[in-house]
Amino acid sequence: MKGSPMPQCCINPSILSADFVNLEAELQRISNADAVHVDVMDNHFVPNLTLGLPVVQRIQAVSPVPLDAHLMISDADRWAPGFADAGLASVTFHAEASIAPVKLARELRARGSKAGMALRPATAVEPYLDMLEELDMLLIMTVEPGFGGQAFLDLTLPKIRRARAAIDGSGLEVALQVDGGITEETILRAAEAGANVFVAGSAVYGAQDPGAAISRLREAGSLTLRSKSGE
């Protein structure tokens, strides 16, 4: 839509598809990324278990790019602030896992992190639109959270469009992130619908050259965002 400034296209690779034994080297392979997406799972909010705060802190210490933590954990109100205290650039909690999302978003910002909130594919965005000003990023999951390598859910595209319209209408600078099944093909549809921050796990770490995969994704995303804004 013309009139709104073009949002910046960001590519945030997910280390869920990286070699966990060689994380430091795996992080160096994505040094041209905008941020590294760190998936924290508790085997409760999602049926999978990854890593917790101590490992995230070590990743933070060696990462060449800022951290974008995606907390797929229950009782986010209790646990998310600790990730902001660790100095992470951005902390995203799930709306479905928070009793008091406004309070939590404020707490994350007060501790110096950007505040992100995520929605599962079947969670409507409308009940949360009045709290956009409390957020730096809205994450619309494009697969059911829990595992990498799943297929992009096209049923999320109308929600991405509605979220983009609300963000542009508000005049706020809220990043719109999508996560799950992002490839050089699906990024075109997600960007066209209005997303501007793209998480990609298998499409980056499954490639021969992750750095080149990031560049290709960025090219595809930017091109679509530019043509949308009429530039």
Residues tagged active-site: 39, 179
Query: CB of residue 51 vs Zn ion: minimum separation in angstroms?
Result: 13
Percent helix, percent strand, percent coil in the chain, to nearest 5 = 45, 20, 35
Q: What is the DSSP string of 67-115?
A: EEEEEE-S-HHHHHHHHHHTT-SEEEEEGGG-S-HHHHHHHHHHTTSEE
Stretch that binds Zn ion, among 3-11, 67-75, 150-158, 202-210 (CB under 5 A): 67-75
- Which of 39, 68, 107, 136 is close enough to bind Zn ion by CB under 5 A? 39
Which CB sits closer to Zn ion, 91 or 228?
A: 91
Residue nearest to ligand DX5 (CB): 201
Is residue 68 close enough to count as binding Zn ion by CB under 5 A? no
Q: Which residues contact 167 (CB under 8 A, 6 or more apart)?
A: 132, 138, 174, 176, 194
CB of 62 to ligand DX5, least distance (A): 20
- For residue 174, the minimal CB distance to ligand DX5 (Å) is 19
Q: Give the nearer residue to Zn ion in terms of CB position, either 136 or 179.
A: 179
* Shortest Cβ 34–ligand DX5 spacing (Å): 15
Which of Zn ion, ligand DX5, none has residue 200 at its interface (CB below 5 to 8 Å by kind)?
A: ligand DX5
Instruction: Check binding of 94 to Zn ion (CB under 5 A).
Output: no
> Which of 11/135 has CB closer to ligand DX5?
11
Query: Binding to Zn ion (CB under 5 A): which residues in 163-182?
Result: 179
**Own/partner pairs, 225-230, CB within 8 angstroms, 24+ separation:** 225/6, 225/7, 225/9, 225/191, 225/196, 226/6, 228/1, 228/6, 228/191, 228/192, 228/194, 229/1, 229/2, 229/4, 229/5, 229/6, 230/2
Name the site residues for ligand DX5 (rule: CB under 6 A).
14, 16-17, 37, 39, 70, 143, 145-150, 179-182, 199-203
Q: HSE (CB half, 13 Å, CA atoms) of 31?
A: 7
Interface residue list for Zn ion (CB under 5 A)? 39, 70, 179
